């Protein structure tokens, strides 16, 4: 018995934050029904590359769900959805504030017909405040929060993050946590609630150290200067002789001393507090003397918190992740299979059955009472 078996989720969201949140719920046993626009459906279906009839991005994020295609602006749309809305446990949407209210699908209207509904609204800047209706994407949220200003390249310009931190860490993850908390609270009260998940707000959790440095000590961090933004030789990236990179994070003294011995760092640079910039240059010179393969062999079995920067393809083949079964799930479409997207749902709670993703409108019979409601 999966922990969310019997929970029905109506997912009005598109692209990444909401669909990833409902994927986690589906993996734990919830029935997730996507509500999509007729004709095109979720915008993510049209992305490249394809996996089956739709994009692989859509396939990865919507595994194991169902799909209903309905025009929410059409006359009678609300009446057609009413039987599903009355029996839903969770609503997930990520329209701009006010859009669902204008469609007759806001929390006030839905809680009147279904007091137990847990209504999760995911937006960039939240349901209130001066920026609430501002159009933006992940890069804008990380810029607004100050996070982007801490990541700079060699020329001092901020570098776009490799991960969609706001969409995932600020949107999908907090949405799931709060949905589960709301469902737990409902067990005692019988009533649901509205959840205001603002991706930009939730980025400040990731900046705990920067906030602490600035608020408590008056040392607001800057790119290339703080402990974890490139200002220390103990937390940095260094180029190898064959133009690959070492990720070195020997922060604690015991790791730093072992690292210095391993790379034969000159004694005058081991007290890195005296001149961190000089120590960084000295470490870089030493790392540049060997290839990535030579350093990998040298690091093997050593407690020094160092490794080689891998490509995504190398990471998928990494013996550790393979041994852990990280990519053990399967996604099927069009006669092909690929590993399913790994999600942070513990193995005892996940479905082990291979699953595909829904064709647009494949569950429309639910609207007409021709399938189990």
Give the catalytic positions in this structure: 137, 167
DSSP secondary-structure letter at 132? T
Q: What stretch of H or E contains 20?
A: helix 17-27
Q: Which of 178, 309, 310 is nearest to 249 (CA)?
A: 309
Instruction: Name the 3-class secondary structure at 109.
Output: helix
* Token pair for 153: 């390249």
Q: Do 253 and 231 form a contact (C-beta atoms < 8 A)?
A: no
Instruction: Name the 3-class secondary structure at 307.
Output: strand
User: What end-to-end distance do the CA atoms of the chain give, in Å?
Assistant: 21
Q: How far apart are CA 265 and CA 2, in angstroms?
A: 53
Q: Phi/psi of residue 60, each to 5°?
A: -65, -35
Burial class (CB in 10 A: 0-12, 13-18, 19+), 225: middle
CA 364 to chain CA mean position, Å: 30
Q: How far apart are CA 271 and CA 29, in angstroms?
A: 54
Q: How far apart are CA 114 and CA 136, in angstroms?
A: 32
Residues 6+ apart with CB under 8 A from 151: 158, 159, 161, 223, 229
Burial class (CB in 10 A: 0-12, 13-18, 19+), 363: middle
């Amino acid at each position: 018995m999966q922990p969310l078996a019997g929970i029905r989720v109506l997912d009005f969201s598109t692209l990444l934050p909401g669909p990833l949140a409902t994927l986690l719920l589906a993996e734990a046993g919830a029935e997730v029904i996507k509500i999509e626009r007729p004709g095109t459906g979720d915008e993510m279906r049209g992305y490249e590359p394809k996996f089956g009839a739709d994009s692989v991005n859509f396939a990865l994020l919507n595994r194991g769900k169902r799909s209903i295609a309905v025009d929410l602006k059409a006359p009678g749309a609300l009446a057609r959805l009413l039987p599903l809305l009355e029996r839903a446990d969770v609503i997930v949407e990520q329209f701009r504030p006010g859009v669902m209210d204008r469609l007759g699908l806001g929390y006030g209207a839905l809680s009147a017909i279904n007091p137990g509904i847990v209504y999760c609204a995911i937006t960039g800047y939240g349901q209130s405040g001066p920026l609430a209706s501002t159009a933006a994407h992940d890069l804008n949220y990380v810029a607004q929060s100050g996070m982007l200003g801490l990541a700079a390249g060699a020329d001092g310009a901020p570098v776009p993050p490799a991960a969609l931190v706001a969409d995932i860490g600020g949107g999908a993850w907090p949405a799931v946590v709060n949905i589960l908390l709301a469902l737990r609270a409902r067990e005692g009260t019988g009533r649901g609630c509205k959840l205001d998940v603002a991706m930009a707000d939730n980025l400040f959790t990731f900046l705990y150290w920067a906030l602490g440095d600035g608020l408590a000590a008056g040392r607001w961090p800057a790119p290339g200067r703080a402990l974890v933004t490139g200002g220390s030789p103990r937390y940095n990236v260094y180029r190898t002789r064959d133009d690959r990179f070492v990720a070195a994070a020997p922060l604690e003294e015991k790791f730093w001393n072992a690292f210095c011995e391993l790379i034969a760092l000159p004694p005058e640079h081991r007290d890195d507090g005296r001149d961190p910039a000089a120590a960084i240059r000295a470490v870089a010179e030493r790392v540049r003397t060997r290839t990535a393969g030579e350093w990998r062999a040298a690091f093997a079995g050593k407690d020094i918190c160092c490794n080689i920067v891998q490509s995504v393809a190398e990471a998928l083949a990494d013996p550790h992740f393979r041994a852990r079964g990280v990519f053990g799930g399967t996604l099927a479409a069009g006669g092909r299979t690929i590993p399913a997207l790994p999600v942070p749902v513990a193995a005892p709670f996940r479905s082990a059955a291979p699953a595909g993703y829904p064709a647009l409108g494949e569950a429309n019979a639910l609207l007409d009472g021709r399938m189990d409601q």
